[in-house]
Amino acid sequence: MVSRATSIRFAVILALFSMLLALASSPNLEQLSSNNDAMDTVGRSGPDLTVDYLSASWTSADAGDSKSISTRIKNDGDSSSGSFRWGLYLSTDTTITTSDIQLDTWSQSSISSGSTRSSTKSVTIPSSITGGYYYIGMIVDINGQVSESDENNNDDYDSGRARIYELADLIPRTSSTSCSTPSTGTIGDYLDSSISIQYENDASSSYGQSTGSFDWAMYLSTDSTITTSDTQVGSDQYSTSLSSGNYRTDSLSSSNRIPSSLNAGTYYWGYILDVNSDVDESSESNNVRTCGQITLQEDLPDLEATSVSTSSSSVVMGDTITVQYRIDNTGTDYSGSFYWKLYLSTDSSISTSDVFVDEFSVSSISGGSYRSGYEYSVTIPTGMNSGYYYLGMIADNRGTVNELDETNNVVSSSSRIDIEEPADLIPDSPSGPSTGKPDNRSASLGESITLGMTPRAGFIGRCTSLQIRPLQPVIQNWVLHNRQAVFLEVRIEAEHSVRLYPVTWLKGPTISESSSIPPVGFQKVMKPTISRLEIRFTSPFQIMISKPPQSLLIQAIVKSAKVRTFTSL
């Protein structure tokens, strides 16, 4: 017996079968079939380019490296693609676009429906890339040349990231202390001090490359733009590899010289890193730094008149003084021998129009050294005006030394000297033995000669010199007018090499003593004191010769600038 459910199922099947028979006999069946075919191809009409395969076998690379990438492109559409371009990229994320770092692009000929194109491409990691982790991506039809059934499936990426190390980047440090250079120097001479510079590898400390070894060089330039065409100081300086993110201090030794090819003047210091281009860098335009300036002078001496002085504060024309001097060579080369002149000037501006005193020679002075000393028995000129004078020195007065500076050869003393004109004494009523010739007379033991001396009328000053020729041993009864102390010298010396005999000092104006004649040049000094403004020697000044030699000169000198010899008795 057939169940109710079975009967119902049978009825349904029968009804469906009847409907199919009706459709089969309908005239619209062919049109319906055609419409269904069209609906089956919607979304698949035309080409459809996709990234079918993308793989990089490497996981790290340095900027500038060349690497291989395997690719395959498929046309999933139902018609040929036509030609198009495609490219490979590096991206920090999985969204690959043409704004990512492009590695390269290629042209691809048409791919038929359902076909693929495989290739292995060599790409170069850009040298300017910033280090880090990157996805390798691919985009087909980058210029939109192909009208595709699906425009949203043209890109893909390799699932593994690659670690990219950026290139080193040598740059000078720019702080005020990162470049220390001398500010003065001498052409052809050693540097005044060593040179210190600082530089760094500006690459990322985590993803940056080391520099490898390289050279740097120091230059002098007439302008602030430093190039290899400027004048190099010293040789190329070797530097070992510098890791990323680090800096280094380096130096150029003071044993290097300023090139002799330069002229005197002002120059800029500067240095160039990686001067021989040994390092592949992310930027090759930032290896130069300009430092401070330097003033160069020629390798010459420079004589400087440093000081001139005397301990004498008051003298009479014709007197001798001792002069102390110092001349420095502030240059760098030997001066060679030269002369200097001594002058007297009423002011501290010394020139050749002042009163010339004397000229002295000096042997060569090395650079940085000086010559000092004393000039003894410098005679104060006669015939000049009395008054207060500065001592003055002119070094290299003949101009024989080629110097760095010709304007510092003159100096004056810090204090003045009082220079007085001498009194002009004349003999007054000389008396003595009446026998013998004036210049070759004989005298008995104990005999004396008396000379009376007075100043010229109306003159107040110091006494002149007085010479007593052979065997005239006595000065007696003479008068001085002076405002200062009289300096009396008695000099006894032999004219020939003969045995000297003793002399006894009997009496004088202020002292009484006995002495024997020492070797030639002996002088006894007696200083009478001032009594008001007039000094009178009322007691005879007598010399007793106990045993006279054949040739003896006794000279009594009251310090002065003029000398009168009295021989006519």
Q: H/E/C letters for each residue in 14-83?
A: HHHHHHHHHHHCCCCHHHHHHHHHHHHCCCCCCCCEEEEEEECCCCEEECCCEEEEEEEEEECCCCCCCC
408: left (phi over 0), alpha (psi -120 to 50) or beta: alpha
Check residue 13 and give its pLDDT: 58
Q: Could you give the C-alpha distances from 392 to 306, 345, 357, 398, in angstroms and in order?
A: 11, 7, 10, 16
Check residue 569 and give its pLDDT: 26
Check residue 15 and give its pLDDT: 60
Check residue 18 and give its pLDDT: 62
Domain range 170-297, CATH class = mainly beta
Structure-block tokens of residue 436: 């013998």
Check residue 532 and give its pLDDT: 25
Q: Does domain 303-420 have CATH number 3.30.70.20?
A: no
Residues 6+ apart with CB under 8 A from 270: 218, 219, 220, 221, 224, 226, 230, 288, 289, 290, 291
Check residue 244 and give its pLDDT: 93
Check residue 127 and give its pLDDT: 87
Check residue 204 and give its pLDDT: 83
Architecture of domain 49-165: Sandwich (2.60)
pLDDT in tens, 126-161: 988 999 999 999 999 999 999 999 999 999 999 999
Rounded-to-10 torsion of CA 392, 395, 398, 400: -170
Check residue 563 and give its pLDDT: 26
Residues 6+ apart with CB under 8 A from 333: 299, 300, 301, 367
Check residue 276 and give its pLDDT: 97
The pTM score is 0.54
Strand ranges (E), 78-183: 84-91, 101-108, 116-124, 132-140, 155-165, 170-172, 179-180
Structure-block tokens of residue 28: 């619209």
* 3 state SS of 148: coil
Residues of the chain with pLDDT under 50: 1-6, 8, 27-43, 424-569
